[in-house]
Structure 1
Amino acid sequence: MANRTTRIDPAMIDRLADMAYLDRNPAAVRKRVEGMEHLLERLFVIPGINRPVGLDVILDLIPVVGGTVGAALGAWMAWEARNVGMSKFQMTRMMGNVGLDFLLGLIPFVGAVPDFFFRSNTRNLRIIRKHLDKHHPSTVVIEQ
């Protein structure tokens, strides 16, 4: 049997370090939370009323499990906000939004109606954007 030795490429270590940095990079965090908010709140528009609906409302149609999954995805957005150094007050507000959304979603089938109007993830995105605009102005994206 031949003796095999594994050589670690220094460039690979540098790439892994860069990937770890991207996790907390404010621009990357902004992009991820904006994408998650779009998925949860604005996935498609209901024809006729022109109201955007996302996965959060659809999940609320599945009793208990759907609301739990929606709350977990909303909590992930708050966890991402922690990566950019948001205050405990802001984090508490965001978790309060997620908690209220979860409680409203516990009502089977009817829980989707309040979620249609109380968009906790959009509210949380607004809190995150305000923080990023103030503390990391280089992450601001101008939409046309």
Structure 2
Amino acid sequence: MDDSVNSTQADDRRHLGDADAIVDSADEDVKATMERLRTVSYYLDEAFEIPGTNYRVGLDPFLGLVPGVGDATGAALSAYILVEAALIGVPRETLARMFGNVLLDATVGSLPLVGDVFDAAWKANARNVRLLESRYETPEAREADRRFLLGAVLVVTLLLVALGVATTLAALWVLGRLGLL
């Protein structure tokens, strides 16, 4: 009888070990995701130091210089951070704040030249990664409804890209009507 009890306890420990391995695996996945998002944010917002200053800019303002597709590409890359945040279970309120940062960046950033300066100063991606880092550790982050959030973020991503393209086309049309192009 003692052997069967010891065997059962050993089985319980193995199962607990499996659960710990699953949790460790999930934590490793989140760590890998966070590292990817930090990398994307770095390249979009802080990859280059302006000579003679300590100020850094990334590719986002330079992408905005490409008419039509540059701002849409920047918005899509910013939305990628939102999608990944939804997948790891960030609370809705944090996703809403992150979305607001991206929406403001995409809207103002799509204005010719002024928007590119705004992109260099606002750094929506770096803001969003900081929000993500500060909020992910909260317990309610693990309880978020991921399916709802993923669907909402995908819809918003499409809207952001459409908004960026529409704003750029409208600005180009106005500049064309004024004879500046």
Give the TM bin, normalised by the shorter chain.
0.7 to 0.9
Let me know the Cα RMSD of the aligned residues.
Answer: 2.1
For the 8 Å contact 2:94–2:135, the answer to whether it is kept is: no
Question: TM-score by structure 1 length?
Answer: 0.73
Structure with more helix by fraction: 2
Bigger shift: residues 126-135 or 112-121: 126-135
SS of residue paired to 1:50: coil
- Using the alignment, how far apart are the partners of 2:64 and 2:53 within structure 1? 20
- Using the alignment, how far apart are the partners of 1:132 and 1:94 within structure 2? 13
Q: Encode CA deviations 1:1-51: one digit per residue, 9 max, x unaligned.
A: xxxxxxxxxxxxxxxxxxxx77x8211111110110111011111101221
Match of 1:101 in 2: 105
- Correspondent of 2:74 among 43, 56, 70: 70
- Using the alignment, how far apart are the partners of 1:105 and 1:120 within structure 2? 10
Match of 1:121 in 2: 125
- Using the alignment, how far apart are the partners of 2:121 and 2:48 within structure 1? 15
Q: Superposed, which structure 2 residues align to 1:1-144 within 5 Å? A: 25-134=29-138
Mark the structure with the bigger radius of gyration: 2
For the 8 Å contact 1:57–1:116, the answer to whether it is kept is: yes
SS of residue paired to 2:66: coil
Give unmatched runs, 5+ long, in structure 2.
1-24, 140-181
- Using the alignment, how far apart are the partners of 1:51 and 1:132 within structure 2? 28
SS of residue paired to 1:63: coil
- Using the alignment, how far apart are the partners of 1:58 and 1:50 within structure 2? 19
- Using the alignment, how far apart are the partners of 1:120 and 1:33 within structure 2? 13
Shift in Å at residue 63 of structure 1? 2.6
- Using the alignment, how far apart are the partners of 1:64 and 1:123 within structure 2? 25
For the 8 Å contact 1:42–1:54, the answer to whether it is kept is: yes
- Using the alignment, how far apart are the partners of 2:127 and 2:96 within structure 1? 13
Question: TM-score by structure 2 length?
Answer: 0.59
Work out the number of aligned pairs and report it.
Answer: 116
